[in-house]
Amino acid sequence: MGRLNTVQKNLFQLLTEIDSICKDHGIEYFLAGGTALGTVRNHAFLPWDDDIDLYITRDNWNKLRDVLENEENVLPEGRSFVYNENTKYYCNPIPRYVDNTTTAIYKSQALAGKACGQHIELLIMDPIPKDEEKKQEYVELLHLYTELLSPYFVVNKNLSIDGWKKHYELYKDYCKIVDKEGEEKVLKELEDKLASFASDEDCDTYCMRWGINTLIYKKEHYGNGRLERFEEGEFPVGEKAEGIFRVAYGDSWMYIPEYEEQVVHNALQDIETPFNEYTDRYLKKINRESVFKQYRENKRNNASAYYYRLKVNYLIAKEKVAVYSKRVSKKLDGREDELRLALENKEYEYLSQEFKDYITLQFIPDVRKNNIIVPISDKNLATLVMSLIEQGKYYDANKFLNIRKINDEPYDDELVEIEKTINICRDLSIARYDKKDEEMVKELIKEYESEYPNLIDIYRAKLWIKEKIAIAKEKNDAIEEYESIDQLCDEALEIHPYDGETMAIQAKAKLELGNKEEAMELYNKAIFNTRNGIIWQKVEDETGISRIDMERDLIEELNYED
């Protein structure tokens, strides 16, 4: 097992237990979220990860629930399954497999008590209709259901101001129905209605039963699953897990986020103490039914106030853009030719600094959430976006192009061409990382190489093919291939001198050609010029140099400083 902290070691033990239960009873599940991401990228926990999530279809959850409720001696000692129907005050659509000998208390689950140990969460996937209107109706009903279910916080905070207004009106109407008919009856009717939209047999997508983000996945991405190495074992991920990642994390799923973007959970963690030693202390001092009722009243008040907070935040965001966009305009307007010259000279750091105020303003959360556009000329936008594409960051370039699409004005020819380039890069990425389809990659190279000879994604694709050919050959026969790879890397790095992905491939070529010292120097340089986790794993497999362990050290150091 890799270098795990105590929380991760315990979570891994819980995973092996639930895996055993599912295998023994013919129940299918898949690793989900960051666990699946770490598994596919590096066969390990994400260095900062402090939870494990699993996907399970509704049919398989019903099967597991039947086993838990009707068969004896299924759960190991000190474990329990907690879900909304079997645990009062646990108002969460996500079941948990809980370690009762440890503690992990979140504010929103503290009242339930039973849910407060370290746990694995099972994200239930429900079939949803193919028809777009029915699908939208389903999603709106799911938002309503999760909002009514949870008394502890406003759930659907990712909705825009217009989306929230519609959602809140429906929520208010249903609160009145709850007052007349009772919460349990209303929630059961909503559950039945959600279940009536589609069956597993006639659907082609699943929706995760969770309110905070509405994530819809293609059924084919799960398929029959595939086994992947995770720490000391093998566990199932979706058959086309990479397609799931693109939905959940975007096109940059293979890249490891910087420290400030890494998501950790805010819980009271104690790996050595049973949670009841904490929960008994406060639960015996309160009237849970009274507190729960107060939570519900507060939730309704908070939901009412939330709409007005959204309006205020929207107005503040508009004013920020109105005021600070003047600074952006003063810095960028009239400098189109100067900034374009910097692009031609590949002065990417300089351009990053020049566009910093624009990027910061455009990506203020309330500015993006409400589709407020920071004014910028199309030529300057093209310069910024092309600088990102040239650095191999087409996925970031696409974010800015998507913002431009909010403006109904047609693209100029340059932006049309840029959109085409982004689509080519995306197609190449999907062909390499998701489909691993050599013929598809070759066809894309053949179609676009002459038109985009200097595109880094074309170089990466050509090197990917060449390395596969070299690896498939006997060592002596592969020498010529590795010499060709070395030369092509020189050509690519002449144009894109800081591309860590190209460096890693050239390092392998130099190693095979007997230039070990030069290769090792290049390997070390490669892992600090990319955050592509798959490249990090490639380097570790070939040399034993673990960039992931370096990341763990950095996280521990920064957490200690905090």
Q: Residue 561's pLDDT is what?
A: 66
| CA angle in degrees (0–180, nearest 5) for 327-367-336 | 40
Q: Residue 1's pLDDT is what?
A: 54
pLDDT, tens only, 27-39: 999 999 999 999 9
- Of 299, 297, 291, 263, the closest CA to residue 113 belongs to 291
- Of 98, 99, 116, the closest CA to residue 107 belongs to 116
Q: Residue 161's pLDDT is what?
A: 85
**Cα distances (Å, whole numbers) of residue 522 to 34, 280, 284, 497, 545:** 29, 57, 62, 12, 12
CA–CA separation, 425 and 431 (whole Å): 10
Counting as low any pLDDT under 70, the low residues of the chain are 1-2, 561-562
Chain centre to alpha carbon of residue 250: 7
Q: Which two tokens stand for residue 235?
A: 């566990």
* CB 245 within 8 Å of CB 434: no
Q: Residue 475's pLDDT is what?
A: 83
CA–CA separation, 511 and 506 (whole Å): 9
pLDDT, tens only, 70-125: 999 999 999 999 999 999 999 999 999 999 999 999 988 899 999 999 999 999 99
Query: Which helix (H) or strand (E) is 47 found in, with range?
Result: none
DSSP for 268-335, written as a single string = EEESSS-THHHHHHHHTTS-HHHHHHHHHHHHHHHHHHHHHHHHHHHHHHHHHHHHHHHHHHHHHTT-
Q: What is the pTM of this model?
A: 0.93
* CB 249 within 8 Å of CB 41: no
Query: Which helix (H) or strand (E) is 124 found in, with range?
Result: strand 118-128
Q: Residue 426's pLDDT is what?
A: 98
pLDDT, tens only, 274-303: 999 999 999 999 999 999 999 999 999 999
**Cα distances (Å, whole numbers) of residue 293 to 94, 157, 296, 299, 396:** 22, 22, 5, 10, 46
**Cα distances (Å, whole numbers) of residue 88 to 35, 84, 472, 515:** 29, 7, 59, 66
For each of the domains in the chain, give its residue range(s) and CATH number, in order of start: 1-127+207-286 (3.30.460), 316-425 (1.25.40), 452-561 (1.25.40)
* CB 95 within 8 Å of CB 124: yes
